[in-house]
Structure 1
Amino acid sequence: MKRRIDWSIIFVIIMVLAFVVSKTDWFDYDLQSIAGFIGGQEISVSSLWKSITTQWLHDSVYHLLVNVIVLLYLSHELQKYNSTRKIFLIYISGMIFVALVLFVFAKEEILYLGSSGAIAALLGSQMIHLYLSDDKRHKANAIEVSLLFLGLTIVIPHISILMHLAGFIVGLVFELICSRKRSVTFEQ
């Protein structure tokens, strides 16, 4: 039996490698200045590219660990009822939408880093799945976790509300569209 490597493991490896390279003196440049997105930039292909690449970079070991742990946990949980391909599409959709939102709406001249916006897309998908289940505990858990996520996003300093909410909304919409297609398919 062939065993495939999970895409989330590959993404974790990329994030760890980007972090290690960004924290070393191996090169004559700073990875964050080359690939990090700073709000308020003029519109260009370079700034659009940076709005994507900035999601692979992390500011600290703690920031990286939190994102890695949550990514691995959510991808594992979502695999219980979704295909790996669908989870990958949710994550990539979140990453692209977050990049576009940053590109268009990030006006503060601060450095945006991290994959938590794309990870929030996975969380949004998970919350919709739990909320649409028949189990009242799952519905309550979905509401509680969503409120906790939104509350922590607002309360904890240096977290981009813009990135988190953009990703969360992508996950909600993606899962609502998929669940609607499933219900139409089952009714026919």
Structure 2
Amino acid sequence: MFIRNERLNEFTRWYPVVTAIVIVHVITFLLTDIPFLENPWMFRMFAGTNLYIELGEWWRLITPIFLHSGFGHFIFNTFSLVIFAPPLERALGKGRFILTYLGTGIIANVMTFFAEGPMYTHVGSSGAIYGLLGVYLAVILFAKHLIPRHSSQTVLPILALGFIMTFIQPQINIIAHVGGCIIGLAFGYFWIQRNKLHFY
């Protein structure tokens, strides 16, 4: 389920939304971190700075989902997206997947806005990615028959390790990680109750 052995053309055809998000990740990384291409304006305009959100720049609740601070941050989140998002895009369908991914990411950023001070600034898709893991957690808790047992045994250790690292690593948006997972759990439960989650 989480083993990606598709060829590139197969991946882009089967998972168009995930592919689009990965392309956006790559473009924003090139524009913010690669010498001669980097543009500080990107972070100034689109990072999730609470003070500017308070002053009415509401788009900063959305745009941080697609920005990353450095190569390691970019690679980790993009790799996680490529591994864990495709089964959910197929299981939910494109529309519900977009709603789930953006919904968990945005709500995690809203929680960060209310929990942190005005000078707090954050970027990264971690809230949305933890949201996807939260959907898997909902499946494990409420509809474990929907996914193979070995897939459940993959998700739970990843979540446990992720939360351990969340609390011991510096400069981590704890609110986004925890909040994204909780919101993803709620999304997952909602889709399960309405029979809208089908793994193939």
TM-score under structure 2 length normalisation? 0.76
Question: Which residue does 2:42 correspond to in 1?
Answer: 31
> Aligned to 1:173, which of 186, 193, 198?
186
Question: For the residues of structure 2 that align with 1:93 and 1:19, how far apart are their CA atoms?
Answer: 22
Where does the alignment leave 5 or more consecutive residues of structure 2 unmatched?
Answer: 1-12
> Aligned to 2:63, which of 31, 53, 77?
53
Question: Which residue does 2:4 correspond to in 1?
Answer: none
> Aligned to 2:27, which of 17, 23, 42?
17
Question: Which residue does 1:147 correspond to in 2?
Answer: 160
Question: Which residue does 1:186 correspond to in 2?
Answer: none
> RMSD of aligned C-alpha atoms?
2.7
Question: Which residue does 2:177 correspond to in 1?
Answer: 164
* Residue pairs, 1:39-188, within 5 angstroms: 39-41=50-52, 43-46=54-57, 48-79=58-89, 81-107=91-117, 109-131=119-141, 132-134=143-145, 142-182=155-195
Equivalent position SS for 1:182: coil
Deviation for aligned residue 1:11: 1.0
Question: For the residues of structure 2 that align with 1:112 and 1:140, how far apart are their CA atoms?
Answer: 31
- Deviations for 1:25-49, whole angstroms, at most 9, x for unmatched residues? 5587531112112245571221x22
Question: For the residues of structure 2 that align with 1:82 and 1:36, how far apart are their CA atoms?
Answer: 29
Where does the alignment leave 5 or more consecutive residues of structure 1 unmatched?
Answer: 184-188
In structure 2, the CA distance between the partners of 1:43 and 1:111, relative to structure 1 (3 Å rule), is: closer
In structure 2, the CA distance between the partners of 1:181 and 1:57, relative to structure 1 (3 Å rule), is: same
Equivalent position SS for 1:159: coil
Whichever residue aligns with residue 44 of structure 2, its letter is S
